[in-house]
A and B are shown apart, each in its own frame.
Chain A
Amino acid sequence: MDVKNTPSYLYWLFCQFELITCSYLMEPWEKVLFYSFNLAMLGLLLYTTYICLAFHASSLKINPLKYKNTMSPFSLTPYSLLFTFHTLPV
């Protein structure tokens, strides 16, 4: 299996997935059902991840601006450092 990063490697990976989940043995309509269920699950997962990340990112962005007086130079993350430099020498 020296064909990594090629379409045939992807196809081989897909075959492994089919073998492990037994979708290899399914009838076509069962496969459709199984894959749409899996894709839906995957989509849901990605969507929630996106929402969560957006929420956290925005809370990081907002916090230093909102509480700029309480912000100390010893603040935690590079993010907050960035904002501290912007806001301190007023």
Chain B
Amino acid sequence: MELHERPRANGCGGARGALRNGFVRGPPGTQINHIVHNGGLYKRPFNEAFEETPMLVAVLTYVGYGVLTLFGYLRDFMRQWKIEKCQNATEREEQKDFVPLYQDFENFYNRNLYMRIRDSWNRPICSVPGAKVDMMERVSHDYNWTFTYTGRVIKDIINMGSYNYLGFAQKTGACQEAAAKVLSQYGAGVCSTRQEMGNLDKHEELEKLVARFLGVESAMAYGMGFATNSMNIPALVGKGCLILSDELNHASLVLGARLSGATIRIFKHNNMQSLEKLLKDAIVHGQPRTRRPWKKILILYLYLDEAHSIGALGPSGRGVVDYFGLDPEDVDVMMGTFTKSFGAAGGYIGGKKELIDYLRTYSHSAAYATSMSPPVVEQIITSVKCIMGEDGTTIGRARVQQLAENTRYFRRRLKEMGFIIYGNEDSPVVPLMLYMPAKIGAFGREMLKRNIGVVVVGFPATPIIESRARFCLSAAHTKEMLDTALKEINEVGDLLQLKYSRRRLVPLLDRPFDETTYEETED
């Protein structure tokens, strides 16, 4: 029972048949097991549900892809015989006998499927991406191969797409004033790296503040969140090490893991049984070929990427560790970005002092990357202080609460309307399933027509039949804005028949787990 008193973030042991990750039955203290496992880990219930794809919808989705694929072949045939003008990149005449560059499935998908709905992405905006945003109008006269700008601006679109969770992307207010002041003191560029002439007092201040915010010994900040992951993982592990990585990890983590040269094993998303099995097998068998023991094992779980959660989750906005009431000391490497909740740019790594000192000397992004721009640093400092309440106001706290409220309201209303919504009920990122390829384009266009900017996501980013729209909530959204957005979503949902839900919920961690998966991904 002792062990249950203080939940441990890395307690991933557990007897066979014990509760699965996050599946809480009753208060933690009531369990009989003496080993800490994930079932007793979280202080709060973990309501994450994924509704099954209705059979008919799946079939119709495949029908749609089938039709598009057939037409794709037809178009490719016509391009090859010069019946139609070829607008995409092709093999050069001189290189006909080389390995073909444009014949794999992704290229086929890009030119024949993606090109038809390309107008839903990369729309240029021309104002601060706050709760409302201005967008440049553009048209295409050749079915999305090229775009021309009409010169008109679509004003006051409700922005449901930016990761502006706490609404700090502003052009007025305390953050802007502070950043402007620092800009006039330090200028915008630093023109050197942290190890040379680019180590400003502002950077030191930021790192101390972030360490305090996270509740860790020490922290380090970088100019780019993506590079924080992809450059620091190679500094931590190398050849002869093992990385256990979640199957749905962000591209930056995947890139970092591959660059490091370590052996990578993939476990099922959020599935602690899968992780445990992989870990046991890996330790028993040792390194591939040589069977020597591993030099280091990095589980990209004890390496926690809080890009989206920091600021957005937890009663005081300190991310998932706060949300589940855990001790930040138990997570070995805390990583996150300033890009989202703080309305700035960059990333950080927090942890033990030895770890951070090591990274300061060995990380590529410390040694070779130009340090962060001072106004950006100031924006982060001001917003973090605001969230912590150190600016003497309760604005930060109110925003965190507002976001939680908006999230619950928006998710509840969408569920009531009968849409299929994925994910945790407290997550401010709300995926609404669209499934069919034509609906991706139609949803984006119809919503923009109604003055609402949404992000739609399709194949390479999601499994092929699970296309979705992704709404991001913000503390800056007012109730009226959300109601307007919901009204329009409801209308478009009727128009496009998007209300697929039949309310048969499958708890995430009860999804079948394939015992046989043990992937050999060797270099």
Interface residues of A (CB under 8 A from B): 1, 12, 15-16, 18-27, 30, 34
Q: B67 touching A21 by the CB < 8 A rule? A: yes
Q: B116 touching A25 by the CB < 8 A rule? A: yes
Please, which residue of chain B has its CB at the minimum distance from the CB of A26?
B71
Q: B71 touching A24 by the CB < 8 A rule? A: no
Chain A neighbourhood of B47, CB < 8 A: none
Binds A, one of B339-347, B393-401, B417-425, B436-444: B436-444
> Which of B60, B441, B494 is the one whose CB lies under 8 Å from A24?
B441
Per-residue 0/1 for B492-503: is the Cβ within 8 Å of any A Cβ (1 yes, 0 no)? 001111000000
15 A-B contacts (beta carbon < 8 Å): A15-B495, A19-B436, A19-B438, A20-B438, A21-B63, A21-B64, A21-B67, A22-B65, A22-B437, A24-B441, A25-B116, A25-B117, A25-B437, A26-B116, A27-B143
Q: B67 touching A24 by the CB < 8 A rule? A: no
> Which secondary structure dominates where chain A touches chain B?
helix
Is the C-beta of B235 less than 8 angstroms from some C-beta in chain A? no
Give the interface centre of A15, A25, A30 by most chain B CB atoms within 10 Å: A25
Q: A20 touching B495 by the CB < 8 A rule? A: no
Q: A25 touching B60 by the CB < 8 A rule? A: no
Chain B interface size, under 10 / 10 to 19 / 20 to 34 / 35 or more: 20 to 34
Q: Given the known inter-chain contacts A15-B495, A16-B497, please indicate yes or no for A24 contacting B68, CB distance below 8 A.
A: no
Please, which residue of chain A has its CB at the minimum distance from the CB of B69?
A22
Q: A30 touching B494 by the CB < 8 A rule? A: no
Please, which residue of chain A has its CB at the minimum distance from the CB of B116?
A25
Q: B494 touching A25 by the CB < 8 A rule? A: no
Known: A18-B438, A27-B143. 17 other contacts (CB 8 A): A12-B495, A15-B495, A16-B497, A19-B436, A19-B439, A19-B442, A19-B497, A20-B63, A20-B64, A21-B64, A21-B438, A22-B438, A24-B441, A25-B438, A26-B71, A26-B116, A30-B71
Q: A22 touching B496 by the CB < 8 A rule? A: no
CA distance A49 to B60 in the complex (A): 26
Please, which residue of chain A has its CB at the minimum distance from the CB of B60?
A20
> Which of B68, B495, B497 is the one whose CB lies under 8 Å from A22?
B68
Chain A neighbourhood of B497, CB < 8 A: 16, 19
CA distance A19 to B367 in the complex (A): 52
Chain A neighbourhood of B441, CB < 8 A: 24-25
- Shortest B97–chain A CB gap in Å is 33
CA distance A65 to B90 in the complex (A): 71
- Shortest B382–chain A CB gap in Å is 46
Q: Given the known inter-chain contacts A24-B441, A24-B442, please indicate yes or no for A19 contacting B63, CB distance below 8 A.
A: no
CA distance A63 to B210 in the complex (A): 93
Chain B neighbourhood of A12, CB < 8 A: 495
- Shortest A17–chain B CB gap in Å is 10
Chain A neighbourhood of B143, CB < 8 A: 27
Chain A neighbourhood of B442, CB < 8 A: 19, 24
CA distance A21 to B65 in the complex (A): 8
Chain A neighbourhood of B65, CB < 8 A: 22
Chain B neighbourhood of A34, CB < 8 A: 67, 71
Q: B496 touching A25 by the CB < 8 A rule? A: no
Chain A neighbourhood of B436, CB < 8 A: 19-20, 22
Which of chain B's residues 189-245 have a Cβ closer than 8 Å to chain A?
Answer: none
Which of chain B's residues 334-371 have a Cβ closer than 8 Å to chain A?
Answer: none
Chain A neighbourhood of B439, CB < 8 A: 19
- Shortest B420–chain A CB gap in Å is 17
